[in-house]
Amino acid sequence: MIFKLVGDGRPYPEHGTSNREWAQIPPRQVRLDSLITTKAMLDLHSLLAADSTFYGDLFPHVVQWRGELYLEDGLHRALRAALHQRSILHARVLELPS
């Protein structure tokens, strides 16, 4: 098992966090098996591209809501970590009030 659950959509409320605000959240370690994805499908071009982490934030974005961790952005990075047999990922975690 790679993820806790494969979801399809964001069950948490819209948070409106900008890229600049995400960048101010320090990355922390997150276990892959504690994450719930918000996307059920992935484009293999994104996963296998050599420059897939060149654009945008280097760290995945995770939203913590009601005690769960939702992988909002960075599914391809998380899968790459799993393919390299890593169980931990460094991600930015935004904590939303319940």
Cβ(40)–Cβ(7) under 8 Å? yes
- Tens of pLDDT, residue by residue over 2-53, are 999 999 899 999 999 999 999 999 999 999 999 999 988 877 776 666 655 5
Bridge partner list, 69: 35, 64
pLDDT interval class at 1 (50, 70, 90): confident
The single residue listed with the structure tokens 């964001």 is 10
Q: pLDDT (tens digit, 9 = 90+) per residue, 57-88?
A: 689 999 999 999 999 999 888 988 998 999 99
Task: State in Å, rounded, how far the first CA of the chain is from the last one.
Answer: 27
